[in-house]
Chain A
Amino acid sequence: MQKFKIKKYIDNSNVSRFRFWIQLLSFFIFVYGGYFFIEIGSRLPMFSCPYVQGSPGGCYLIGVQHELNTTWSSIFSPRGISILKSLGIFLIFFLFLNKAWCGYVCPLGTLQDWITRLRKSLGFSFVRYGEVRFKKLKVIKYLILFLLILIPLAINNSFFGAPKLPHGMHTPFCQICPARIILPLFNGDTSQIFVDFTDRSTIIMTSLGLIVAAIFFVGSFVKKRFFCFFCPMSALQFLFSKIGFLRLIKDGDKCTRCGNCSRVCDVGITAIADDILSKNIVKDDCMMCFKCVEACPEEGALKVKVVSFDLFSATEEGFFKRYGQDKDYEGPKK
């Protein structure tokens, strides 16, 4: 009986509010934790950026770019094992939260949600991609992921006789990543806002970084989770998402395709409403914020599971608790 009560309490709860506080806490830990001697690990599946002085950990993408900045022969030497080892560490971290790393932990994601709050408080509307643009643009993150693996290799190896890339392009993604420039600002560190005039390649890459950072602010003001849509970490995570312990499960038979879930989706996934065949409904752009589950009035149509244990389910009661209550309401209580 006790167990049912807890489940009901969770199902009726406002997960978005919970998420807000978790995000705030995570932001604090991953931007200032280092000052408090917290150390979490350097292969984290989100933007815990080592360029941030107070960061208690490191993003896996910077690790993988460093590790691949080597010759073929050394990759296939015992050194290759360390590459696999860090992938393993990344996976262990990743599997626990699956893509919820993006929705609950990533400081850059949190920052975008705060910018959304700012926009909302000013009463501005938001932009959404149309179906066609959504499909076209979502490929970009895979392209960036591919390049961030390829470029470090191409610095040290020649592909098909082409000349090697200049060393100034090392950790190419970090150079254009908005987290590197923006997150240190929260430590009062403005040193990342610069153009590296060492050579032509560094000038190009660091200037590009500044442009991306500027676009980040504008983009996330007009579109919710603007950057996440292009994030290569999101692409990398999705490759392993199917085996994550945290799951978002849909029962298509119970779905009325009312579209509540897709309307509240910050990244604008429409398949969550329209796909009635997939059981595992985590799509590549999903950040597992579970707003969709909150907005679903159909009993058990959407469920958050930890492996096979039900953590949070869509319920009628929970839906009306979250959406039906209003202090302005003048009618009968009950």
Chain B
Amino acid sequence: MHTITDNDRYNRLKKTSTIHYNMEVNQVLAEIIDDFPHQLAGMEYFYNKFRPVEEGKSLYPKDKKLIASMCIHVPVEIIHALDATAVRICSGAYSADAAGSDFLPAKICPMVKSTLGAIYLDMLPGNANPDLIINPTTCDQKKKIGELDEEIGKEFYVLEVPPSKDSEEARQYWHRSVKKMVKKIEKVTGNRLTRRKLKKSIKMISRAQAEFRRFMRLRKNAPVIYGKDAQLVTNAYFFDDIIEWTKNLSILNDELEERIKQKATVVGPRAPRILLTGSPSIFPNMRTPILVEKLGGVVVYEEFCSSSRMLSDSVAVDEWFLYDMVPAVADRYLKPSTCPNFTPNDDRIRKILLAMKDYKVDGVVYQTFTGCQLYDMESRQIGQKLEKAGYPVLNVELDYNPKDSGQLTTRLEAFMESIKDNKRKK
């Protein structure tokens, strides 16, 4: 008689989930690429980054350790400086959601569930097989999944992030926490952090940031790129080789500059310019930007930890020695962060208000994942302040399940129509 062992069950789950994942990825990519006019040649590289990688193959150099991070608060400069590959593994896959749900209560944010599922089933981007997963103590749900390390069979490292960022105490705590992380990664990689290597790594990321800022500057103009494409660019940064990423973004930027000169915009001047904020859209969960843009709008700015929050802020070092570089790198991940796990978090609304002006935004779509209390709680304050400043805001709550898009579509449709109306009246 044949009995089903745990191993069999795991393998079966993995097999079906992988099939679903590949289907999901291909479907979303097709939607992103084929359902829209105006193809950008420079986007081809980024689209290809998301295509499923064959089983057994990996995107990453084999001779390097792979350090995964679950959040933007992990100082990746340090990982690169220690000759390891850094991959951010936050997942947007619905196909990994179910596997993660087995370990967690029902009312948990789908991103956390999906990430856990993806780790468990080895469905990480580019078939990453992390030697260490760094789990910063940001939101409660994320930090608690690190406790499932034994069940999941992966090593998690808790990177302690203070709950507030303004006080000197918080900063010192964070600096010590980062120094401790350096020691841990040194142990995992067997390499030592040196002045030269860290400097090189800071400069490498600084170039990526400079290129990203150029990209964002171009988006302030009449729209020559869709938000759904822009988000794939920043999503690719999660796992791409940074030098390659920078090079390709530079090519894309050149193309966008050319399009601005030719006035080859992707939408007309009346199209509502939308700012997205809240729980981050991570590929393949691209529903909100895709819907906004199918409904005739264009996303011009994302206040997401998968986008501007990850790449805007850059390190400045006064004395290029480890004693000043490590704290400088640490500061860059703490002080300018607008993550809602910090309290107070006034910087977030200030950042959004500035973007509203700079990017000539017409309205804000605030996305909250079901079960994400932090973004949910801030949606009220932010909504009030935006409305006071005269901007329309739409709060949407969504899950990773693509089937319940109906209501989302209806609400977005009404929102976009009202903005269009307002624009027409002006």
Contact = CB atoms under 8 A, between A and B. Distances in A.
Interface of A: 120, 123, 125-126, 130-131, 253-254, 256-260, 263-264, 273-274, 276, 291, 295, 297, 316, 319-320, 323-326, 328-332, 334
Contact of A276 (B250, B318, B350): B350
A274 B318 contact: no
Interface stretch (B153-161, B199-207, B410-418): B199-207
Contact of A330 (B166, B243, B313, B336): B243
A320 B250 contact: no
Interface stretch (B23-31, B89-97, B269-277, B321-329): B321-329
Contact of A257 (B200, B213, B336): B336
5 contacts: A256-B313, A256-B336, A256-B351, A258-B314, A316-B217
Contacts of A130: 168
Contact of B313 (A258, A264, A332): A258
A295 B313 CA distance: 12
A254 B358 CA distance: 10
B210 A328 contact: no
A130 to B, nearest CB: 6
Given A323-B206, A326-B199, A328-B199, A257 B347 contact: yes
B203 A324 contact: yes
Contacts of B199: 326, 328
Given A328-B196, A329-B203, A334-B250, A264 B316 contact: yes
Interface in B64-116: none
A253 B347 contact: no
B315 interface: yes
A331 B316 contact: no
A272 to B, nearest CB: 13
Interface in B196-248: 196, 199-200, 203-204, 206-207, 209-210, 213, 217, 243, 246-247
B250 A253 contact: no
Q: Name B's interface SS.
A: helix
Given A256-B313, A274-B166, A328 B200 contact: yes
A182 to B, nearest CB: 24
Interface in B303-326: 312-319, 321, 323-324
Contacts of B210: 316, 320, 324
Interface-central residue, B250, B312, B336, by most chain A CB under 10 Å = B336
Nearest to A327: B203
Q: Which range contains the number of B residues in contact with the other chain?
A: 35 or more
Interface-central residue, A125, A295, A324, A328, by most chain B CB under 10 Å = A324
Given A263-B331, A295-B316, A332-B246, A258 B203 contact: no
Nearest to B242: A331
Interface string B340-378: 000000010011011000000000000000000000000
Contacts of B213: 297, 316, 320
Contacts of B319: 120, 126
Contacts of A254: 354
Nearest to A119: B319
B336 A259 contact: yes
B335 interface: yes
B203 A259 contact: no
B332 interface: yes
A326 B195 CA distance: 14
A235 B3 CA distance: 84
Nearest to A274: B166
Interface-central residue, B166, B321, B335, by most chain A CB under 10 Å = B335
Contact of A326 (B203, B243, B351): B203
B352 to A, nearest CB: 12
Given A263-B318, A324-B210, 4 more contacts: A258-B313, A263-B316, A263-B328, A331-B247
B318 A332 contact: no
A257 B247 contact: no
Contacts of B203: 324-326, 328-329
B331 A258 contact: yes
Contacts of A325: 203
Contact of A324 (B206, B312, B351, B353): B206
Would you list the 6 A-B pairs with minimal beta carbon distance, nearest first? A258-B336, A125-B323, A260-B316, A331-B243, A295-B316, A326-B203
B200 A323 contact: no
A253 B204 contact: no
Contact of A264 (B166, B168, B318): B318
Contacts of A273: 335
A93 to B, nearest CB: 30
Contact of A334 (B166, B206, B247, B313): B247
Contacts of B246: 331-332
A331 B208 CA distance: 10
Nearest to B334: A259
Nearest to B253: A334
Contact of B315 (A131, A316, A323): A323
A323 B347 CA distance: 24
A334 B247 CA distance: 8
